[in-house]
């Protein structure tokens, strides 16, 4: 998709001046537009920004945005992928907030029922407040999905040695070993899923080019023969 097809050359130059604020995909699109339309302007700064982002993707620096850390022994070729401490902390925060909001929602629901049973005095301000609290409670229930994620990934470890990968993940009966060629990426309801057989590891937004290329780079490294 050409983001700048309706832009005049002057508008494109104006966008170029603020290229550091653009997403990676927008930068690629801008560079292609300038080249295809032969606009006489220097793209050195833009190309440097793109090169820096592509180097970060190649080094899997963006994997941490998805909650995972990548390590590689360049001598032996052994690869280790594990959950980041930040992601674990965020899971714990999600669980705590989920519990608190769920409790608030349950209390508000009980108070709302009490209004209609006559045990609680009716008032529009109360009704409005209880509805807001119940809504917060519903959000809290959704946040409790962090419990399953925390249990699954608290001790998660994905290692590659030779042409084999070993997986440690909550819900599995001990470490599981597979051929690295069994790893893959598939699209599922707007997300990219990095998996092996029916075991899911990492989910990413399929419309996010950085996340897509990060998973593709990880797959290439995990399936490469050393």
Sequential DSSP letters for 57-110 = HHTTGGGGGGTEEEEE-TTT--EEEEE-HHHHHHHHHHHHHHHHHHHHHHHHHH
pLDDT at 52: 95
pLDDT at 60: 94
pLDDT at 1: 62
Q: What is d(CA 217, CA 182) in angstroms, rounded to the nearest whole number?
A: 16
Strand (E) positions, the chain? 68-72, 79-83, 157-161, 164-168, 176-179, 183-188, 191-196, 199-205
pLDDT at 127: 75
pLDDT at 107: 86
CB hemisphere CA count around 4 (13 angstroms)? 24
Q: What is d(CA 124, CA 33) in angstroms, rounded to the nearest whole number?
A: 57
pLDDT average per 10 residues of sequence, the chain (226 residues)? 80 89 92 90 92 94 92 86 90 89 88 71 74 87 81 87 88 84 89 89 91 94 79
CA 164: distance to chain centroid?
26
Q: What is d(CA 183, CA 200) in angstroms, rounded to the nearest whole number?
A: 10
pLDDT at 226: 57
pLDDT at 121: 67
């Amino acid at each position: 998709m050409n983001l700048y097809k309706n832009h005049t050359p002057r508008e494109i130059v104006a966008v170029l001046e603020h290229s550091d604020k653009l997403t990676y995909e927008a930068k690629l699109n801008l560079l292609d537009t300038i080249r295809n339309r032969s606009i006489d302007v220097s793209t050195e700064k833009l190309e440097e920004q793109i090169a820096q982002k592509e180097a970060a993707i190649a080094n899997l620096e963006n994997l941490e945005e998805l909650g995972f850390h990548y390590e590689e022994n360049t001598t032996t070729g052994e690869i280790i992928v594990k959950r980041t401490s930040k992601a674990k902390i965020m899971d714990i925060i999600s669980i705590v907030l989920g519990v608190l909001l769920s409790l608030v929602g349950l209390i508000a629901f009980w108070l709302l029922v009490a209004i209609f049973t006559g045990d609680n005095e009716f008032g529009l301000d109360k009704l409005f407040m209880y509805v807001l609290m119940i809504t917060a409670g519903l959000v809290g229930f959704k946040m409790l999905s962090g419990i399953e994620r925390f249990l699954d990934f608290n001790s998660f470890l994905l290692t590659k040695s030779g042409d084999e990968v070993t997986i440690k993940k909550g819900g599995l009966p001990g470490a599981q070993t597979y051929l690295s060629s069994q790893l893959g990426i598939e699209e599922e309801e707007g997300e990219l899923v990095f998996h092996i057989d029916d075991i899911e590891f990492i989910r990413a937004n399929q419309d996010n080019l950085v996340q897509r290329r990060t998973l593709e780079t990880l797959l290439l490294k995990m399936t490469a023969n050393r």
